[in-house]
Chain A
Amino acid sequence: MSDKKEKLLQVENLTMRFGAKGRQNTVIHNVSFDIAEGETFGLVGESGSGKSTIGRCILGLYEPCGGTIRFRGDTLKPGEMRREIQMIFQDPMASLNPRKKVGDIVGAGLDIHKMYKSREERSERIGAMLERVGLSRVQADRYPAQFSGGQRQRVGIARALIMEPQLIVADECIAALDASIQAQIVNLIRQIQRETGTSFLFISHDLSMVRYLSDRIGVLHRGFLLEQGEPGEIFANPVHPYTRNLLASIPSPNPIIQFHPETHYDYETSGIVYENGTWHKTGDSDTHQVLCTNEEYEKWGIGK
């Protein structure tokens, strides 16, 4: 998409089905997108639309049923896990083993991949990483219960970062935190990105955060990627009826101003068949694209 920077991740025609043979349910339909080096791609969309499933396919936790995922040009084997691709989980409480010291949690990946030569090197790297994410070295000997929600989320970030990943999949990693700690974590993500050029796939329902953090945004519905573009483009000029409905539903922190979408978007009655759509540029740029038919392109007044 952006040709200035090299593509780090290329997802092409990703397809995923669940269920026993005969009554399979396709949850990801031919999804394609890419993420450049140092870029944050925000993935938004209805719950159940397949965001986590896409993330899990990229991480190698699910074997895709079709399509290819390329990382630095190499095609990942289905289910292949790469040290360079790491994940930050949603629930900082549930994702940390309560009986392990935080230092060992952060160092677990180092142990698995034998990424050190001596005990000293190991503890040095863990200590440095804790400081990196705004914790202190002495906290390596403490247990998760002794940390606050925001601090635990920092531990989760440290655990991912210590593997020196080039891509981090962050699936709802700030949802459970209060606004101030969310801001703290988002600032930390941006700082890390500036310093290391790590790319992020940022999955979130919080559209104002996605807008703030992402270089580009993809809108997913029922397993189809419907629209993608830069935050300014998507927010100023949403094209797909689903995207428009999504943006109209964001609650405003201004009590008197509460817009509601006039009608709820209903795929069944919308007359739109996602299978028939192809990618169309919206005209205002190369980055802003929408999945639709030629008729819909005219009808939605995209070309103007």
Chain B
Amino acid sequence: MADKAEIMLEIKGLDISFRSAGEMFHSIRGVNLVLRRGETLAIVGESGSGKSVTMKAAMGILPDNARINAGSILYRPEPGSEPVDLLKASPKWLRDNIRGKSIAMVFQDPMTSLNPTMTIGNQLIAAIRAHEKVSRKEAADRAVTLLEEVGITEPERRMRQYPHEFSGGMRQRIVIAIALSCNPSLLICDEPTTALDVTIQDRILELIVSLQQKRSLSVIYITHNLGVVARVADYVNVMYAGKIIETGTIFDVFYDPRHPYTWGLLSAIPDDASGEELYSIPGTPPVLSKEPAGDAFAPRNPYALEIDFKEEPPMFRVSETHYAATWLLDERAPKVERPKALNDRIEKMKKEAAEYVR
């Protein structure tokens, strides 16, 4: 967790709407986020809260019906270089310098990033040769090594196969291999290991960590798997309804969560003790075709205060690294305890951690 490494990516006040079926949906409502060089930042949160859209904005690949209302995404390609606002950069510059070069992205659905009519060997070779002047033979050797690195057995035979001949998880690993082939400075992974079993996931995470050490790669990791977050990330951002509602180190967020949405999310993880119903947050996420009055989470929040229905909470500071957008942190708010089941779980985790360290 390098203390004061240089800021490589800074998203400020990002605000995006979509036009859909004649209506405007306000999907991203002021996202702020900072990533320092060499760090891993995880984004978790509600399905549909805007995690993928935020990253697509950074890559300049928003769909046509998206409209950027405000904000900037400042990116420093090289250490010490002047930051560039990716939202103002020309599509050509983004294509030539950023996308699949300095920033590589692994998408949620691997099928969308593979060409179904080309063998995966040719796709890898093309990706490698797009960035470096190497012979076909050399690129092919590198491709085989990459496939091995992401855990594909018999890589030589697999090179000659087409995407549909692979299982879902194998395709995802190929996409990861292609992303890594261009030596990116920033790797954005959108649910990269959802389709993978835990052993392969573990290997991919290790691979990413080792690349991080070798080439000070920075990583943004979007995932629903809180175990993966705990394993790979330095910092976590929790999103709800187009906003980041809690941010902190993994220790801040897992051992001392402050936002009731984060409480709900952590409570939903199945415990070892089965049998009982799993906790799930009541209600449904808001439809952002009209602005929510007050806090977007208020209608589902058992701890909502009166003010939550009237005014949006700002980000309150918990510590230098830890912030949360909930009125519960206002000094005038009544003292509210975390749900007991979650508190018990956190105490248990802390105890286990203390024993583990010893």
Contact = CB atoms under 8 A, between A and B. Distances in A.
A300 B277 CA distance: 36
Interface in A193-230: 205-209, 211-212
Given A178-B224, A182-B268, A183-B268, A254 B48 contact: no
B195 A178 contact: no
B41 to A, nearest CB: 14
A48 B278 contact: no
Contacts of B215: none
Contacts of B269: 179, 208, 253
A91 B230 contact: no
Contacts of A91: 109
Interface string A229-253: 0010000000000000110011111
B96 interface: no
A253 B227 contact: yes
B225 A48 contact: no
A195 B281 CA distance: 23
A180 B284 contact: no
Query: Interface residue tally of chain A, by bracket?
Result: 35 or more
B278 A246 contact: no
Interface in A1-58: 18, 44-49, 52
A85 B287 CA distance: 35
Contact of B228 (A46, A176, A251, A257): A251
Nearest to B46: A178
A187 B275 CA distance: 11
Contacts of A186: 270, 278
Nearest to A153: B47
Given A180-B268, A249-B202, A211 B278 contact: no
B280 A207 contact: no
A145 interface: yes
B167 A176 contact: no
A183 B254 contact: no
Given A182-B224, A212-B278, A246 B170 contact: no
B245 to A, nearest CB: 13
A52 B270 contact: no
A181 B173 CA distance: 26
A302 B226 CA distance: 34
A45 B169 CA distance: 11
B278 A187 contact: yes
A255 interface: yes
Contact of B197 (A151, A190, A205, A261): A205
B109 A94 contact: yes
B170 A212 contact: no
B199 A251 contact: no
Interface in B183-215: 191, 194-203, 205-206
A260 interface: yes
Interface string B273-309: 0100111110011010000000000000000000000
B230 A255 contact: yes
B202 A205 contact: no
A150 interface: yes
Contacts of B315: none
Given A179-B265, A211-B274, A212-B278, 7 more contacts: A47-B168, A48-B166, A145-B21, A245-B199, A246-B197, A251-B230, A255-B353
7 contacts: A48-B169, A48-B170, A143-B21, A149-B47, A179-B268, A254-B349, A260-B206
Please provide the 5 A-B residue pairs with the shortest distance between their CB atoms, ordered closest to farther. Answer: A47-B169, A251-B227, A149-B47, A183-B278, A256-B353
